[in-house]
Amino acid sequence: MKNLRSTLLFIAVFVLFLASCKEDTDDLISKEKLSGFIQKGPFLNGTSISVSELNKDLSQSGKVFNSQIKDNQGTFELLGLQLSSPYVQLKADGYYFNEVAGTVSTSQLTLNALADVSNISSLNVNVITTLEKARVEKLVAGGLAFAEAKKKAMGEILAIFSITKADIQNPEGLDINKPGEDNAILLAISSVLQGYRSEAQLSELLANISEDISADGKLDSEILGTALVSHAKVLDVAKIRENLSQRYQETGSTAQIPAFEKYIAQFVEKTPFKAVSLFTYPVTVNGSLNLLNENNSAFVAKVDNPYKFSATTPKGASLKIKMEYVEGGDSTGVYWAYRLASDTNWKQTNYDDKQKSQYFEVVESGKTSNLEMLFLTGNGVKIRISYFENNDLVAIKNRIITIN
């Protein structure tokens, strides 16, 4: 009798154990493959990838899967994932192709994404997924459902860039190398954020914007807003398209760059933030007045009194200056000259006798360009200085200086 009771008890416990195991197995989310792209521009082969399982409150469960990007298009792939929760965080650290400068980054950038992988097997990581992360976490902590938090955060990020699109898909579904309005929006925002910044500056900008919008979804910092539009205003969108097209072709992919240009133009036109020049024209250089600084407008014609012709351009940008005689003084045919021995990083056209003008162009961006300039005649000569920043066909500004 005692043996019978023991046997029945063992059977009962074994049945409960099987039921429990079946229940645990049924709760698992199996992913044969989770794949996608890591994009700023596309990240490079060898970039490290980690997928962390998250609990319902978006805290880490402790389960992590690691992989690497397998090509220079930013492609990653993880096989055989077993998840107890549908929520994951994907993190990528690596080098990437800078679509604005047209070069590979010299240091690494970290991008993140939060996603519900219940019904998806493709997951892309980009600047929007990175910007939204802290905001989504804040909204979920406040009681909002994950899907609603994602939708709300996406709309708030679009608003920062003067974009309204209620039906835009989640950012982890966007791809800068596919046609369509949603993908165009991603590329526009990605390019504005990159601007003419270094990787360190971009990383800092992403962190600062993410922190700023986490509480209320609005970009409250005037400094950050000004930084965004100042770079957006001088972006060479034709060059961005050319850079990306060439890069994708080099990596063996067909370039399908979406029509992103209009969203950058829209942001520049509609944003409440005010742009400032990214080009620096110091007031003085080594004690001499700089012709290119707007505060300096009156100069003296003296052979032994050279002035500076000085500017600093952001890395990847271009600058051309036009000097043009307007009126006044004694007609000599030539009104200024420069000292060749003092030339640093400028190239000049020949003086145009008919137009009484000459162009000066920066050779290498990201450096200071200097030249010593002399005025050969005074008596009220007026000279127009025109600034063509970043391949502008029309001068961004014109000013008149007087030579006495």
Amino acid at 57: D
Q: Give the integer Cα–Cα distance in Å for 388 and 361.
A: 9
Q: Give the integer Cα–Cα distance in Å for 336 and 121.
A: 67
- Structural tokens at position 181: 């309005």
What's the pTM? 0.83
What percent of the chain clears pLDDT 90, i.e. is strictly above it?
A: 81
Average pLDDT over residues 322-330: 90
Q: Give the integer Cα–Cα distance in Å for 160 and 110.
A: 22
Give the position of tokens 């539009």. Answer: 229
The pLDDT, as a whole number, for residue 35 is 95
Pairing of strands 346-348, 29-37: unpaired
Q: What is the DSSP letter of 217?
A: S
- CA angle (158, 92, 64) in 5-degree steps: 115
- Structural tokens at position 248: 């994708």
Contact 283/293 with Cβ under 8 angstroms?
yes
Residues 6 or more apart whose CB falls under 8 angstroms from that of 17 comprise none
Average pLDDT over residues 335-359: 92
Contact 58/139 with Cβ under 8 angstroms?
no
Structure confidence by residue, pLDDT tens digits, 26-61: 568 888 999 999 999 999 999 999 999 999 999 999
Higher pLDDT, 391 or 116: 116
Of the ranges 23-37, 66-80, 145-159, 307-321, which is most confident? Answer: 145-159
pLDDT confidence tier of residue 298, bands split at 50, 70 and 90: very high
The pLDDT, as a whole number, for residue 25 is 43
HSE-CB for 291 with a 13 A CA cutoff = 34
Q: CA-CA-CA-CA torsion for 311, 312, 313, 319, nearest 10 degrees? A: 10
Structure confidence by residue, pLDDT tens digits, 235-269: 999 999 999 999 999 999 999 999 999 999 999 99
